[in-house]
């Protein structure tokens, strides 16, 4: 299995990855094909696929923010079971992020992730791939060290239609024994992360305003 970076929508592997995205995630979570052009060309956005016999069997997108010394996991896809794809992607991502942090003269502080909450919303089928079942994924991410940030979370739809997407928790995986993080870090990160979307839902704006009135946010079990 190969860990291959995609930097252009012209790469044939990208079309295969985008098809896999559409099979696994709900429509409001998938950026349109052509809108991937600039993100893929951004050196700070790292999109890798797991390739076996020329086919994309898994994928992960993540990014490192040197100004905050944190990372964000955008998504991880396991295309088929029984191949160790999840572990392969997680280890390769960890190695890459550690190198990026070392190049920044630091040890990685931690990583954000949006994690589906099937206890709130159960209509996720993720293309019928059991390895992507939200109950399974939630427990795997908990084992990796992710914890839930203590606030009610919504995010803007990637359709840029002004709708608020529910059914997720915003989480953080500290690489030390941190029990809370600065609310300002969350605000700065989310504001930057969703800056590409011009049509923000009212509920998202209110969430950001509430966070701006806090000093810290607790980390809770996932």
Domain residue extents for the chain: 2-220
- Give pLDDT tens digits for 58-79: 999 999 999 999 999 998 999 8
Contact in structure between 49 and 59 (CB atoms under 8 Å): yes
Q: What pTM value is reported for the model? A: 0.85
- Listing DSSP states for 110-149 in one string gives EEEEEEE-TTT-----GGG-GGG-HHHHHHHHHHHT-EEE
Structure tokens at 99: 């190198």
Helices (H), the chain: 12-24, 37-41, 85-103, 134-144, 183-193, 202-212
- Give pLDDT tens digits for 193-215: 999 889 999 999 999 999 999 99
Looking at the domain 2-220, which fold is it? Answer: Aminopeptidase (3.40.630)
């Amino acid at each position: 299995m190969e860990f291959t970076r995609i930097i252009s929508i012209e790469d044939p592997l990208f079309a295969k990855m985008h098809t896999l995205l559409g099979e696994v995630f709900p429509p409001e979570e998938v950026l349109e094909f052509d809108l991937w052009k600039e993100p893929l060309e951004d050196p700070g956005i790292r999109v890798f696929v797991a390739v076996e016999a020329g086919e994309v069997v898994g994928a992960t997108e993540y990014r490192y923010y040197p100004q905050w010394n944190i990372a964000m996991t955008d998504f991880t896809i396991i295309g088929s079971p029984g191949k160790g794809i999840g572990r392969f992607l997680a280890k390769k991502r960890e190695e890459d992020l550690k190198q990026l942090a070392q190049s920044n003269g630091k040890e990685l502080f931690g990583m954000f992730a949006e994690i589906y909450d099937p206890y709130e919303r159960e209509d996720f089928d993720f293309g019928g791939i059991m390895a992507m079942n939200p109950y399974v994924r939630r427990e795997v991410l908990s084992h990796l060290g992710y914890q839930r940030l203590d606030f009610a979370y919504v995010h803007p739809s990637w359709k840029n239609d002004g709708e608020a997407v529910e059914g997720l928790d915003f989480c953080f995986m500290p690489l030390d024994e941190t029990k809370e993080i600065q609310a300002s870090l969350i605000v700065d990160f989310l504001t930057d992360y969703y800056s590409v979307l011009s049509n923000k839902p009212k509920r998202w704006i209110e969430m950001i305003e509430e966070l701006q009135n806090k000093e810290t946010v607790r980390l809770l079990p996932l």
